[in-house]
Structure 1
Amino acid sequence: MKKMMMMCFAIILAFTGGCSMSDSQKNGNQEEAVKPKDMDPKDLPQVSAFQDEKTREYMASTKEVEPGYYLLESKLKGFTMLFPEDGEYLSDYSTTDEENSESIGFQSYNKKTNILLDGQVSYYREATFIDDPETMLDQVSKENGYKGNYSLKKEKEKNVYSAFKKNKFNKNDRKYNFSFMYFGYIKSKKMSNLGIVYSFIISCKDDDQACSLDEKKAGALAEKMIDSITFLTDKREK
């Protein structure tokens, strides 16, 4: 598996607010009498997202948000995002300070398409640095060896900064000698000091199996994941 970026920043104080979920994610995050992590695995969907013990701790519901995708909810209840049914949590690429920052690493492999997705989403609240796009994009660029510009998508509750690059592996004997990398950061427009850094690497895994991955398909998959990231509302009293 290719190395995913790990970002380390100073985190301060306690979080006091957030943003609301999209309608589709609200529908996928209906309260259940028993959470997936507390259910018998035999009663859960027979897919990696629920059958892997570590991964199902992040699953908000057994209801599909859309075919092949369920809803992940961060343990700090800071954000939700789509999560592929064949995805698995990676402890080596995940960290939390149990209060104001959380990084979730995962890997998803679609055996039918031979497409591998490595993802990492890092959430920060009460972090002053997250409000400065210039500082954040400079740091993200350094972490990813990137010297280009970022696109900016302005949405109602967040600004999404995104960049893309195609990597070629040093192993020239590989049939699928490339990967597509999408990275950037998301700034909440509702709350100060609240944001997310993300990285998604998409590639063909097995040289012995057909793989039709191209920039268009990789971009569509990355966009789906990025667009699904939604800040949650913190209901704690200020």
Structure 2
Amino acid sequence: MKKIILICTSILLALTTGCSTNDNKTKAVNPKDLPQVPAFQDEKTREYMVSTIEEEPGYYVLESKLKGFRMLFPWDGEYLPDYSTSNGENSESIGFQSDNEKSNILLDAQISYYNKSTFINSPETMLHQISNENGYKGDFKKEKTAGKTVYAASKKSTFKNSARKYNYSFQYFGYIKSSSEEYLGIVYSFIVRCKKDDKPCALDEDQARERADTLIRSITFLEGGKR
């Protein structure tokens, strides 16, 4: 993820209409003039942010470096370079964490975008692979929406040989296939868990699912990306 920040002509403009943060120099921007949240205060993360204006309460908009897709991005999210890769042409994987200190709940996310890849065009192949990678033996829910078909599954996992008080996590994973273009798709994975064992953690399955669903539903393919 190395888009750069567009400087707003004035702080007033930033407050009223928002800055576009793609395709200009991040070094020229004073972090004090940006939202005081991890998504913008972390230099690498803000390269992916589309605007300083929230799209929804608590969420901004991320755009992939290949301009292949957009999705909602949590205000407390931070890009993980060690879990992100790109070939610069038709594949890109974005890893990030959303770490809420107040709730003690951590979200690990991985979004992998593929274009012009024959394997991504086969739901049967993709779902078999995703099931194996996640140790999952159930079915996937299929939902068609504008421009895409979403295959989704989830499971609760318990950490083996762990004395942790909060020794469980909720996983949401699946595959999104473009319905308007061939050989274009996304593999996604979200894991929600308590971060620290010595702090209260009210991790609720319904809330975890709602959070993951919000992100999954927001993923949208873009036209005109690098092809």
TM-score (norm 2): 0.87
Question: What residue is the counterpart of 2:81 in the other structure?
Answer: 91
Give 1:103's aligned residue.
93
1:142: Cα distance to partner? 1.2
Contact 1:32 1:61 in 2 (8 A): yes
- The letter for the 1-side match of 2:157 is N
Task: Note the 1:29-40 alignment, pairs <5 A.
Answer: 31=20, 37=26, 39-40=29-30
Residue 74 of structure 1 corresponds to which residue in structure 2?
Answer: 64
Deviation at 1:103, TM superposition (A): 0.1
The Cα offsets for residues 33-88 of structure 1, whole Å up to 9 and x where unpaired, read as 98583522121111111111111111111111112111100000000111111111
Shift in CA distance, 44/161, structure 1 to aligned 2, threshold 3 Å: same
Residue 31 of structure 1: how far off its partner (Å):
4.9
1:140-179 residue CA offsets vs partner (Å, 9 max, x unmatched) = 1111111111000111210000010111012432111100
Do residues 225 (structure 1) and 204 (structure 2) align?
no
Give the root-mean-square deviation of aligned CA atoms: 2.1
Q: Structure 1 36/148 Cα, relative in aligned 2: closer, same or farther at 3 Å?
A: farther
Alpha carbons of structure 1 residues 89 and 135: separation in structure 2 relative to 1, 3 Å: same
Aligned-pair identity in percent equals: 61
Unpaired segments ≥5 residues, structure 1: 1-27
What is the rounded CA distance, in whole Å, between the counterparts of 2:99 and 2:198 in structure 1? 15
Instruction: Decide whether the 8 Å contact of 1:171 with 1:177 is kept in 2.
Output: no
Return the letter of the residue paired with 2:61: L
Matched pairs, number: 210
State the alpha-carbon separation in 1 of the partners of residues 110 and 25 from structure 2: 22
Measure, in 2, the Cα distance between the counterparts of 1:203 and 1:218.
9
What is the DSSP-based 3-state SS (H/G/I as helix, E as strand, rest coil) of the residue aligned with 1:137? helix
One-letter amino acid matched to 1:179: S
1:62 corresponds, among 32, 46, 52, to: 52
Task: Sort the Cα spacing of 1:97 and 1:204 in 2 relative to 1 into closer, same or farther, 3 A.
Answer: same
Q: Does 1:204 align with 2:220?
A: no
Q: Is the 8 A contact 1:183 1:200 kept in 2?
A: yes
Structure 1 equivalent of residue 6 of structure 2: none
Tell me: CA distance 1:189–1:29, structure 2 relative to 1, closer, same or farther (3 Å): farther
* Matched-pair contact (CA < 8 Å) for 2:96–2:109: yes
Measure, in 1, the Cα distance between the counterparts of 2:217 and 2:70. Answer: 11
* Cα distance per residue 1:85-141 (max 9 Å; x no partner): 111111111000000000000011111211100000000011111111000001111
Q: Which residue of 1 aligns with 2:125?
A: 135
Residue 160 (structure 1) aligned with residue 154 (structure 2): no
Q: Quick check: 1:106–1:119 contact (8 Å CA) kept in 2?
A: yes
